[in-house]
A and B are shown apart, each in its own frame.
Chain A
Amino acid sequence: MKVTWILAWKDLKLFASDRKAMIITFAVPIFIASFMGSLFSNGGSSGSPIKKVPILIVDEDHSQVAKSIIKKLSEGDFVKPSLSTMAKAEKAVRTGSSGVAIVLPRGFGNAAVSAMGKGIPPHMKILYDPSAEFNMQFAKQAFMQAAMKAIASSAFGGSGNVDPKPPFELDASPLTNEVEGNWSGSAHMFAGMGVQGVLFFGIEAAMGLLKDRRMGIWKRLRASPITSMNLILGKLLGSSLISALILFGIFGFGALVFHLRISGSYLGFELLLLTTAFMTACFGLFVAALGRTEQQSRGFAVMAVLLMSMLGGAWFPSFLMPNWMQTASLLVPVRYAVDGFDAMTWRGLGLDAALVPLAGLLTFSFVFAAIAFWRMETTPEA
């Protein structure tokens, strides 16, 4: 028994000896749990099991019925409506900045009220981001409830039984630039997991560099007649090429097996692929420059990649996150890469939609590389 305890005590001491690794062991599950908790919790308030889904309302009708529907939606527990115009709503849904837009066409209110009798039910539309189908269903149910109450109230003065059949036709249309079949959950997941996967390669590249340093190879390289800039550029080029190949392989597999298509700009997609690969290489260099040992840096880097992937929308589309998290996600490069790939693949957007993601990725690449270069130039062991 004593020997067993001695062996166990030794393991505890070893575990506690690397404090950073120990902290990371606790921090990773805490971060993931906190992220998931924020995503699915009701924020501590009673009432609705989940937070209100933000939706856009395009009111082309301006009738009392339409106003009443909007009021009831606002007062309800399920959606948070904001008024918009048709053009703005279409753009917002198409680019993914809003998941759902409900369009109340001109004459909708009167037609719906008369359809409670013998009139023809009017058509109304729900535009939605195909990746936000869950939100669309949620908004649809909320709208039906609010609309039925508002229309019945207008038709019967707020009393009497309401016919369970709605007095209007509702068309829900996924909004992308392609005609059909663009969206599937796999399209977003290939972008998200592709970016996460390539960042894990970035960690391996960093570990390779730290191993070079531990084995004295880095010292030998620095003693050779090449400049520090040559060395760093060589490392960046090698890692960028491998990262680009990994991304190409991942998207290629998606195309072959899951029929993932580039419905937007091919050039935009290629530029995003190369820039994401370059950002990954810079991230690897950054991790290697900051780290001292492989063990210590690996734990830190894995946590950073998981955190960036979660926040950046690699696991879940970013609109599912609370507002503060969506804002915070702009501070991680994964958000730009995932948004960019989404835009170029299933959203079917043009090159202009790739410009902001490209600028974001290049900014992060520059920051990572600059810190790494500074650290390597000023720290003897780096």
Chain B
Amino acid sequence: MSVLSIRNLSKSFGDTIAVQGVSFELEAGSCFGLLGPNGAGKTTTISMIVGVLKPDFGEIAWNGVVQQFGSVPLKRQIGFVSQDLALYDELSAQDNLRFFGSLYGLEGEPLRSRIREVLELTGLQERAAEPVSHFSGGMKRRLNIAIGLLHDPELLVLDEPTVGVDPQSRNAIFTSLQSLRSQGKTLLYTTHYMEEVERLCDRVAVMDHGVIVANDTLTGLQKLLPSRNRVRLTLQRNVDEAELAGVRALADVSSVSQDGQVLQVDLQDFPNGVRGIIAYLSEKKIDFSSISTETKSLEEVFLQLTGRTLRD
């Protein structure tokens, strides 16, 4: 069942169309990724969903009920983790949490209890009393997420929450998010790092120039590519043109290239394709010393869909 339905959202700033006709659905307990390069319209879309920016057109429905812009009941269901480190540096982590928690009507023991829980989830309990100005960038990112979680929202909206963090902190953030997923929370996650989406999300919308160019599961998106898997074999000898043409002619092979004794084959279907190659090499008495495989990434899906890379 969809908890959040976005229908035909559009927003312009003067003559610049930032978002045009964006629609997607979020299933309860799922993680939905919004993938696109900088300037694709992800943050504008998110800002409209969390009630910061009024859409020019379109509607947002929560559990099937269309919400007015800035709807307070909707805001209570959403935890927002902005791209910016929206924290008061002068205050301690605990005081930041106390302040933002009280905006959601939390007070007394329930607030203290939630503060303890989110500090534990983000691994900041030891540093809770310290001013945020003493924190590393990664710790600030985790506190940023903790604030979004404080009121125990049904949906957590994360706008590029790992920008500028070190790998260790990124792992800590991912552990926290995976833990949230296991608790049944719904996540809406924007990023331009495809590996984050691949690791966390089960459905992805690819955005470019303010529109959604594809919206599918990871597997579904990979199917958009002519070949989804690549096999690399290190051969014992060079193959000639005729043998290369033989590999190319095999079922499920979409392309073949050779670099010295390394043969690179792109496959449409992995198991059948690999089986066919091994059988062919065996028949031609071509031995190989190693074999490696890789699945093509969303980066290549994006390139296929838009003609440019995510970091353009």
Contacts and interface: CB of A to CB of B under 8 A. Distances in A.
B72 A220 contact: no
Interface string B40-58: 0000000100111100000
Centre residue among A217, A219, A223, A225 by max chain B CB count within 10 A: A223
A215 B52 contact: no
Interface in A146-170: none
A219 B84 contact: yes
A29 interface: no
A262 B52 CA distance: 48
B47 A219 contact: yes
Contact of B51 (A215, A217, A222): A222
B85 A225 contact: no
Interface residues of B, number: 25
A225 B13 contact: no
Interface in A198-253: 215-217, 219-228
B76 A225 contact: yes
B86 A225 contact: no
Contact of A216 (B13, B51, B75, B85): B85
Contacts of A216: 82-86
B51 A223 contact: yes
B202 to A, nearest CB: 25
B173 to A, nearest CB: 17
Given A216-B84, A219-B82, A225 B75 contact: yes
Centre residue among B72, B73, B85, B103 by max chain A CB count within 10 A: B103
Contact of B72 (A215, A219, A227, A380): A227
A299 B14 CA distance: 27
B105 to A, nearest CB: 8
Contacts of A224: 75, 100, 103-104
B75 A220 contact: no
A219 B87 CA distance: 11
Contact of B52 (A217, A223, A225, A227): A223
Contact of B80 (A215, A220, A227): A220
B158 to A, nearest CB: 12
A224 to B, nearest CB: 4
Contact of B103 (A215, A219, A221, A228): A221
Interface in B77-100: 78, 80, 82-88, 100
Contact of A223 (B75, B85, B88): B75
B147 interface: yes
Contact of B50 (A215, A223, A227, A380): A223
Nearest to A213: B84
B55 to A, nearest CB: 11
Q: State which size class the interface on A falls in.
A: 10 to 19
A220 B47 contact: no
Contacts of A215: 84-87
Contact of A219 (B52, B78, B105, B147): B52
Contacts of A380: 13, 47, 53
Contacts of B70: 227-228
A124 B72 CA distance: 74
Interface string B233-261: 00000000000000000000000000000
A140 B149 CA distance: 76
A220 B100 contact: yes
Centre residue among A216, A217, A225, A227 by max chain B CB count within 10 A: A225
Interface string A341-353: 0000000000000
Contacts of B105: 225
A219 B76 CA distance: 15
Contacts of B82: 216, 219-220, 223
Nearest to A228: B70
Contacts of B86: 215-217, 219-220
Contact of B147 (A220, A222, A227, A228): A220
A216 B89 CA distance: 13
Contacts of B84: 215-217, 219
Contacts of A226: 72, 103
A215 B147 CA distance: 15
B88 A217 contact: yes
A140 B100 CA distance: 66
Given A227-B72, A380-B13, A222 B85 contact: no
A224 B147 CA distance: 11
Contacts of A228: 70
B87 A225 contact: no
B21 to A, nearest CB: 19
Contacts of B87: 215, 217
A225 B83 contact: no
A361 B41 CA distance: 44
B76 to A, nearest CB: 5
A307 B257 CA distance: 75
Contacts of A221: 103
Contacts of B147: 220
A227 B51 CA distance: 11
19 contacts: A215-B84, A217-B84, A217-B86, A219-B47, A219-B52, A219-B84, A220-B82, A220-B86, A220-B147, A223-B75, A223-B78, A223-B80, A223-B82, A224-B75, A224-B103, A225-B76, A225-B105, A227-B70, A380-B13
Interface of B: 13, 47, 50-53, 70, 72-73, 75-76, 78, 80, 82-88, 100, 103-105, 147
Given A219-B52, A222-B51, A224-B104, 18 more contacts: A215-B85, A217-B84, A217-B86, A217-B87, A217-B88, A219-B82, A219-B84, A220-B80, A220-B147, A221-B103, A222-B52, A223-B80, A224-B103, A225-B73, A225-B103, A225-B104, A228-B70, A380-B47
**Cβ-closest 8 pairs across A and B:** A216-B84, A216-B86, A220-B86, A225-B75, A224-B103, A223-B50, A223-B80, A225-B72
